[in-house]
Chain A
C-alpha cells in the first residue's frame, strides 16, 4: 500500500493503513518515513525502539481510520513518537485549565438574515 513518486523529485508516501502488513512492508514503510522526514537515530538500540513505536502507531492509525472514516489517517512526522512524547513535545495547552469565572463573554451576535 505504499508508493513512491519522484515526478518532481519529491518523495511522497501514500497511506499505509487499513491492511495487514508483512514484516518487510513495515521495514519499507519505516525507511520511507525516515527519508521523508529526515529522521536519524543515535544508536541501533534507539532505531529499534523507534521502529517498534512506528509499528504501534501504524496500528493506531488503522484504529483511527476505522473510528474516523471521513478523514485519512496514516504516516505523519509524529509516527515515531509515543502518545506521551507527542503530548509532551507538540501540544501544550494546560491540562488543568479553567477559564477565569470573570472572563469577558462575547456579546451574542445576530445570525439570521
Chain B
C-alpha cells in the first residue's frame, strides 16, 4: 500500500456538492462511491444523480425486526398476531426515505435493481423529497456490477480504497458541526453512526501539536458545500475507529453503461 493516497489526484472525485437542508447524506455518499467506481470502469468522471435516490429509492434500510402486534378478540377467539414489516413508507425507519434519511448499502441495492443512476444534469438535485420519481432507464449512465461491505480493519479499508475507488462510509458527525480544518482526532467520540460520507484517500502524517507526533489520517469528502471544512473535505485520524469511521464501509464496482 502506498503511504499516501488521494483519489482526487487521479480524477475520480467529482466536485463537492451540497445537500442543503435535507437529510440526504446517504445519497451523496452512494453517488460518490458510484462516481469513483464508474471512473475506474470507464476512465470517465460523471457526476451522478442524488435526486434519483431521494425520489425513487425506498429500499429497506434496516433488517427490520419490528413486530406489528395486533390483539384481537371476539366471542369465540382471542389472541395476538405478529408479523414483520419490510418496507412500509409510512413506517419511520424501515426504508430509505429521501430527506428523512437512508443507508448507503440499501441505496446500492436499489441502484443494482433499478439498472443504474442517471447523470446529475439529467436528474438534478432539488434538496426536497416532495417530488415524484422521474427515473428514466434510457438515461442510465452508471450501473452497479456488485457491492460489498469491508471488514473493520484499517489496512483492508485502505487496500479496498486503493483497489476499488472511493468508499461509502458512515461516521458520527458530532465534531463536524464546528469543524473548520486540520486533522480531527478527538479524545472521545461516540461511535453511533449518523452521517454518510465518502472516503477518498489517506495521508501518512499530519502534525498534532498536543500529542507531539505525526498522525495518519483519512481524507473524507462531505456534502455540505465547499465553504465547510477544508474546501468541503474533512480529515480524521486513523488508528482506532475514531467516531466509528471504520464501522460501516461499502465498496462498489461499476459496469460501463452507454446511455441511449
A residues apposed to B, CB below 8 Å: 15, 37, 57, 60-61, 64, 67-79, 81, 83, 86-101, 103-106, 108-111
Contact = CB atoms under 8 A, between A and B. Distances in A.
B56 to A, nearest CB: 16
B160 A73 contact: no
14 contacts: A60-B178, A67-B175, A68-B185, A69-B208, A71-B184, A77-B228, A91-B25, A93-B195, A94-B61, A95-B194, A97-B61, A97-B193, A106-B149, A108-B156
Interface stretch (B41-49, B100-108, B118-126): B100-108
B194 A87 contact: yes
A60 to B, nearest CB: 6
Interface of B: 1, 19, 21-26, 61-63, 93, 99-103, 105, 146-151, 155-156, 158-160, 163, 170, 173-175, 177-188, 192-196, 206-211, 215, 224-225, 227-228, 235, 237, 248, 251
Contacts of B148: 103-106
Nearest to B155: A111
A3 to B, nearest CB: 14
Given A76-B178, A94-B103, A96-B62, 7 more contacts: A69-B209, A69-B211, A74-B180, A86-B177, A89-B23, A91-B194, A106-B148
B237 to A, nearest CB: 7
B246 to A, nearest CB: 13
A13 B101 CA distance: 32
B146 to A, nearest CB: 7
List 3 tightest A-B contacts by C-beta distance, closest first.
A92-B23, A104-B148, A70-B208
A90 B26 CA distance: 11
Given A64-B175, A70-B208, A96 B149 contact: no
